[in-house]
Structure 1
Amino acid sequence: MTDTTGEGVPTAADAPEGAARHDYEALGFTTRGTLIERMGIEVEEVAADRAAARMPVAGNTQPAGLLHGGASVVLAETLGSMAAQLHAGRGRAAVGIEVSATHHRGVREGWVRAQARALHLGRTTASYEIVVSDDAGRRVCTARLTCMVLDRG
């Protein structure tokens, strides 16, 4: 893949058809056919210590027309779990054991972007703070995820 970010991180747009779009897929995992795809989440970057993605508000709302809080949590847990899997590495698995979220404001249209940042990368656990923001850069949700890192057996 070619680096278009200037930071040594290949982006999804750099991958040829059928090729891994980021390091998570290079480990043999796919987002195709999953809830990630169904919600329209577009993963932009994944590394063990950080991850970024965006998700459309349309199709992810509650009956009042606002972005569903659960959709924000899905976005947050997706990013943290993907980063934790890269931290775990081949032959190990990362599984979420705790997630919490504070919803700060509603969003009715556009996209939300999420940035995950590692808080702790240990031998058996990995924790992340994930900030979800609207198109204007305003914080919509702050989430925290802890994953357990296990040997695959």
Structure 2
Amino acid sequence: MMDNFTPGPFTEELVTAGIPERLHEWLSGYGIGALVLKMGIHFLEMSPERTVATMPVEGNTQVAGILHGGAHVVLAETLGSFAAGMHAGTGRHAVGIEVNATHHRSIDTGTVTGTCIAIHLGGTLTTHEVVMTDDKGRRLSTARITNMLRDNGPAKKAD
């Protein structure tokens, strides 16, 4: 448990999404984002080098009843952006500048697992590969995301 940490308005959201307690202070003022909540993404591992999460197929399908291709990309960008943000560290943040995906296989039920592995962790750019698999370990899609790391701006004064 972190010393001198007061739970913020997003603490319950962070716990529900599987965010490790060591990252609660970092995300306490922002949460994990409305889209991540809507997609049902649940984190299993989180580090700049490797971030893993699951997402249900149900509720994320397109008209043909299979997982929407955009849902694959949302999972990939979520994982890559969180990993890049952790690498950026205090006083900095990650901004996605490129994402691409190749879809290999469709899925119409079950859970998708995204595994994000760092390809490059630099001072100004990070690149991660994200592989989405089904419950049997079959590759569904492969994505790559590049994030630019930027310094946070000056704090804004309240009016």
SS in 1 for 2:73: helix
Q: Percent identity?
A: 52
CA apart distance, 1:17: 5.2
Q: TM-score, normalised by structure 2?
A: 0.82
- What amino acid is the match of 1:47? S
1:24–1:85 Cα contact (<8 Å) kept = no
Q: Any idea what the Cα deviations from partners look like across 1:5-38, whole Å, max 9, x if unmatched?
A: xxxxxxxxxxx9577632443313412x510011
Give the equivalent residue in structure 2 for 1:10: none
- What amino acid is the match of 1:146? T
Q: How does 1:15-34 map to 2 (within 5 A)?
A: 21-22=19-20, 23-28=22-27, 29-31=30-32, 34=34
Q: How does 1:1-153 map to 2 (within 5 A)?
A: 21-22=19-20, 23-28=22-27, 29-31=30-32, 34-153=34-153
SS in 2 for 1:47: coil
Gapped runs of 5+ residues in structure 2? 2-10, 154-159
Give the equivalent residue in structure 1 for 2:156: none
1:49–1:117 Cα contact (<8 Å) kept = yes
SS in 1 for 2:62: coil
Structure 1's 19 and 73: CA in aligned 2 closer, same or farther, altered over 3 A? closer
2:107–2:134 Cα contact (<8 Å) kept = yes
Structure 1's 109 and 43: CA in aligned 2 closer, same or farther, altered over 3 A? same
1:115–1:131 Cα contact (<8 Å) kept = yes
CA apart distance, 1:109: 0.1
> Distance between the aligned counterparts of 1:150 and 1:101, measured in 2?
24
Cα root mean square deviation, aligned: 1.7
SS in 1 for 2:58: coil
Structure number with greater Rg is 2
Structure 1's 77 and 17: CA in aligned 2 closer, same or farther, altered over 3 A? closer
Residue correspondences, number: 138
2:54–2:111 Cα contact (<8 Å) kept = yes
- What amino acid is the match of 1:97? I
- What amino acid is the match of 2:134? D
2:14–2:31 Cα contact (<8 Å) kept = no
Gapped runs of 5+ residues in structure 1? 2-15
